[in-house]
Amino acid sequence: MLKLLNDICNFVFPPYCSICGEALEREKVVCNWCFGKIHFVTNKACRICGKPIKSGNICKTCKKNPPDFDFIIGCGNYVPPLSNIIRFYKYNYRTSLLKRLACILYSAYQTRGDVKRIKLVTWVPMRRAELRERGYNQSRQLADKFARLSGLRSVSLLRKARNIPSQTKLSNEGRLTNVLGAYEMDYGALDKVSEYIDNGVIIVDDVLTTGATLRECATALKEAGIPRVVGLVLAISP
């Protein structure tokens, strides 16, 4: 039965790398070569938002308008093949890919000793219509898997205060105003984990573009009394 199921799967999803087309072992979606080509963040980055900068420690945006999050840990730059892998993952949910992406989050987290006290992990909520259409929230899947790897507790703390229009087609400035006040705290959920909140929260997302979404989420979390909010994202767009 299992073999039949596997054969059907291989027929529906042929075992070729979704990024480069190379033939693959069963159950994989992206080949090792493509994973090996990911550019991890090595360039000079803003100490707060993780965006690449040429000089100094903090970027102009963070200086002018400091965010409520303490800092962002970014794994890689949002360039191919990581950008292709994330896009593929976002629209074609595959367990094997989720595992590898969660491992990438975990390795970046491991390099930062200053977040080890944090016990809680949460994620960026998705628009209801989008969630209905896709059937899953990729940030939540990543947060859950990452929490399992790191022995932390994954908890749904935020929800959409209103249904905001999609961010994808907006300018940088448009994105900032579009998400203002868009997230609110689920106080019922917060009560259940109140013993851990003093250590702070890690919030997981797939890509940081302008940082507007994570800024708003961090504002809601801090207003609820969480003293420390650290973002953990797969990729940071330059």
Which residues of this chain interact with Zn ion, rule CB under 5 A? Answer: 17, 19-20, 22, 31, 34, 46, 48-49, 59, 62
Give me the least distance between CB of 115 and Zn ion, in Å please.
18
Q: Within 13 Å, how many C-alpha atoms sit on residue 225's CB side?
A: 10
DSSP state for residue 138 in the 8-state scheme: H
Residue 65: closest CA among 46, 82, 42, 89:
46
Kindly tell me which of 48 and 226 has the beta carbon lying closer to Zn ion.
48
158-160 and 183-185 as β-strands: parallel, antiparallel, unpaired? Answer: antiparallel
The answer to whether the CB of 73 falls within 8 A of the CB of 230 is yes
Kindly tell me which of 47 and 127 has the beta carbon lying closer to Zn ion.
47
Kindly tell me which of 14 and 135 has the beta carbon lying closer to Zn ion.
14
Kindly tell me which of 59 and 208 has the beta carbon lying closer to Zn ion.
59
Give me the least distance between CB of 140 and Zn ion, in Å please.
26
Give me the least distance between CB of 154 and Zn ion, in Å please.
27
Give me the least distance between CB of 3 and Zn ion, in Å please.
26
| Alpha helices by DSSP H, 111-181 | 128-134, 138-150, 172-178
